[in-house]
Amino acid sequence: MPSPDSFAEHDPLTVAALYLSGLDHGQLYSPMEVTRAISRAYATSQDPESLILRYRQHLVGARSAAAAEDRRERRAWALRMVADLSLDQWPVFPGRPASHASAPFSDRTSSGRTFSDRTSSVGTAASEPAAAAVAEVFQPAGDLRGPRAARRRPVLVAIAVLALYLVNATLANEAPGLAAVSVAGPVNIGLALVLMQLAITSGAVLWYRRYAAARLDPLSAHLSSSYENQHPERLR
Amino acid sequence: MNIPQSESGTAFPVILIFTLIVVCTLFLSVASNSDRDSLDEFYLGNRRLSSVGNGLAIFGCYMSAAGLLGNPGLIALNGYDGIPYVLAPAVAWSVLLLLVAEPYRAMTRFTVGDCLARRLRPQPTHLASGIATLVISLLYLTAQLVGAGTLAAPVLGMHEPGAQRAIVAFLGLVMILYVFVGGMRAATLVQQVKAVLLVGAGLFLVLVVLSRFGWNPGALLDTAARHSGFGDAFLRPGISFHDGTSKLDSLSLQLAFLLGAAALPHVLMRVGTVSTGPNTRRSVQWATLLITSFSAAATLIGFGAAGLLGSRAISADDPSGNTAVVLLADFLGGPLLLTFVSCLLFATIVAVAAALMLTAAASLAHDIYGGWFKQGTASERSELLVARIGTVLVGASAILLSMCAQDLNVSFLAGLAFAIAASAVLPTILFNLWWKGFTTRGAVWSVYGGLLSSLLLVALSPAVSGNPTALLPHVDFAVFPLRNPGLVSIPLGFLLGWLGSVFDSREPGGAEYAQTEIIVLTGADPKEG
């Protein structure tokens, strides 16, 4: 990981984004606040290259010694925060140099597929939610492949729940003999399927709560902010 | 109906408690309302409810008297064959949660028409969905009021046919007053009160029934099968099928309940009142879990009623089984529990009917008057006035319709309302949210096609004519064999939505989808910030 003494061009993109964010480097923030700030800073930039460019220009562009010192401190803070949250290694792809900040964005086409890989490639378990949030954040703004993939799973679950109901109904209509086969005491296959339907329906409802909090909400936060920045005219 | 001690013993406390509920909720909602002349206040009420509070209100809005009394009765008489009907709403609601709730709330302001008009051309979509909403709500409201008369009069110890009409008129007037004065805020409050009562009553009945069978569900099922008169066949599919047509008919009704429960306009309007996306998700989650638990409870109570009372006694009291729960309450808890269940019944009728009336008034004032006639230029004050007049008009027509229908067999009305919701509302909502290629023409074709085909098929069905149990028993023009049109009209609604979109020359390739897709993917409206 880059140290505060090394050259800024080797800093991870997350550091640049946090540096350019609205957070005050004299204050304390929760991991979620930090990742949100990174998300917002990333969303306001056109592309990763311009973000890095602005970061470097700001670092070397101080007019006074005091300002340069302040900016150096801010960079050190950003490096520290990112290292603490294990976001520095992100994004790492097999066979790609981690130090080159803009490398992952040449891989845009595979963003939908590599979503879960990215999340799991990030460091420690303690920062898993933060890492997941940042993994979502580094979707190029306006690319809907990731959010679409994340929305696909609830659709499939809903179809499965509906299909199970229709299978039960068809079985009761067309093969009442099969449904009457005893499983345990008075409970036959038909009643067992009813119990299964109840369990799967409630299971889907409970699963969706966790899935939405873990996957959909971070995406929504990022997507809304990038949408605002990309299409101010549509917000009227 | 013939309940032993209920003659005048329970009438007074029931009326007292019912009046207390109505007056208190109305007073509370009017007192807490600071902005009586805003549309938001009238249609949406209090938006600062917790997700549990909202979930209870949605549950209370959805669970009708038919669900409360009809479902356990269906199982007590038909055994296994009743279960799919009872289970369908639970499945429907999980689908509503996963696919519709959050994006629908973010897309809409008050009505289904708002959700469509956000993406499609507003004028035709407002008119189409306004008409469909009005028809569904009016049919369902009539079914509720007719049911109220038949069920409530005996509970109050009144047996004359005139008394039923009096009850219907009285309940209808109470509901008009309720909505006219209190709007959505009052409706929400009574829905919550009713939901809490319902959860309490359901839990109590399940526990008492299970305790009677030594906490052994197996013993409960065995006894139910023995006392049903069908033996083990009671626990298997098939006892209510006589031929291929009745099989198809039951499939059709199940499909209508399954898909219609996810698209009832009054429930969607209730979902639209929640303030934020994550709050919507949690609220609908609570409602879905409550509905799923209640489905399970209704099944147990139904089997319990069959086991403790015997199916013969239940069908002797009411051939449709609607009084099974009342009889069971009387059997298990005596007059006290009977009074409680009766109050619950009245609160249920007011809660659901208030929501229906409000939705019908909104479709009149907001969709048909504001969105179509005035093309969105109506002032808030004039729309509110139309909404209040609409409440009275809709209420009065529902009262008239149900008084006329009191002696007729209108048991098909609720199924018809669900079938229209499933064939005219659900396809447009799903396509509008999830399909890039959907267009205004697709929406209009789907809504009118689903609505008209459902009405036409029912008019030509055995539910309306051609047999002694029909609406018009003395004439015969039943050429369509099924009593419920869902099996045909639901696929037709989806097909027309697709065809209309593909052949739309004004919006080739689909209406503008970028913003809608963002809403669907984030579950929030980017304008909300």
Which residue has tokens 């689903």?
A: B450
Q: Is the dihedral of CA B230, B231, B233, B236 positive or negative?
A: positive
Q: How many residues does chain A have?
A: 236
How many Cβ atoms are within 10 Å of A21's Cβ, its own excluded? 21
| φ/ψ (deg, to 5) at A188 | -105, 180
The more confidently predicted of residues B465 and A2 is: B465
Query: The whole model's pTM is what?
Result: 0.79
pLDDT band at B241 (very low <50, low <70, confident <90, very high): confident
User: Cα(B298)–Cα(A157) distance, rounded to whole angstroms?
Assistant: 25
Model pLDDT, residue B154:
67
Residue A35 burial by Cβ neighbours in a 10 Å radius (0-12, 13-18, 19+): buried
Model pLDDT, residue B393:
93
Model pLDDT, residue B67:
81
B226 at A interface, C-beta within 8 A: no
A144 at B interface, C-beta within 8 A: yes
A112 at B interface, C-beta within 8 A: no
Asked if the model's pLDDT at residue B189 lies above 50, the reply is yes
pLDDT band at A156 (very low <50, low <70, confident <90, very high): very high
Q: CB–CB of A123/A84 below 8 Å?
A: no
Mean pLDDT of B313-331: 87
Q: CB–CB of B515/B431 below 8 Å?
A: no
Q: Using the 8-state DSSP alphabet, how is residue B8 labeled?
A: T
The answer to whether A234 contacts B251, with C-beta atoms less than 8 Å apart, is no
The predicted complex's ipTM stands at 0.88
Surface of A (152-181) touching B: CB under 8 A: 154-155, 157-158, 161-162, 165, 168-169, 171-173, 176, 179-180
Residue type for position B54: N
Model pLDDT, residue A5:
53
Residue A6's contacts (CB-CB under 8 Å, 6 or more residues apart) are: none
**Percentage of chain A with pLDDT > 70?**
65
Mean pLDDT of A214-218: 85
Mean pLDDT of A120-143: 46
pLDDT in tens, B53-94: 999 999 999 998 878 888 899 899 989 999 999 999 999 999
A232 at B interface, C-beta within 8 A: no
User: Cα(B1)–Cα(A234) distance, rounded to whole angstroms?
Assistant: 61
pLDDT in tens, B125-137: 999 999 999 999 9
Mean pLDDT of B503-514: 88
Model pLDDT, residue B150:
77
Model pLDDT, residue B244:
75
pLDDT in tens, A108-130: 333 333 333 333 333 333 344 55
Radius of gyration in angstroms for the set of CA atoms belonging to chain A, rounded to a whole number: 24
Q: CB–CB of B165/B403 below 8 Å?
A: yes
Q: Using the 8-state DSSP alphabet, how is residue B472 labeled?
A: B
User: Cα(B264)–Cα(B423) distance, rounded to whole angstroms?
Assistant: 11
pLDDT in tens, B450-499: 999 999 999 999 988 888 888 888 888 889 999 999 999 999 999 999 99
Model pLDDT, residue A123:
37
Hey, which of A89-103, A215-229, B426-440 has the most confident mean pLDDT?
Answer: B426-440
Give the CA angle between residues B194, B198, B203 to the nearest 5°: 155
Asked if the model's pLDDT at residue B216 lies above 50, the reply is yes
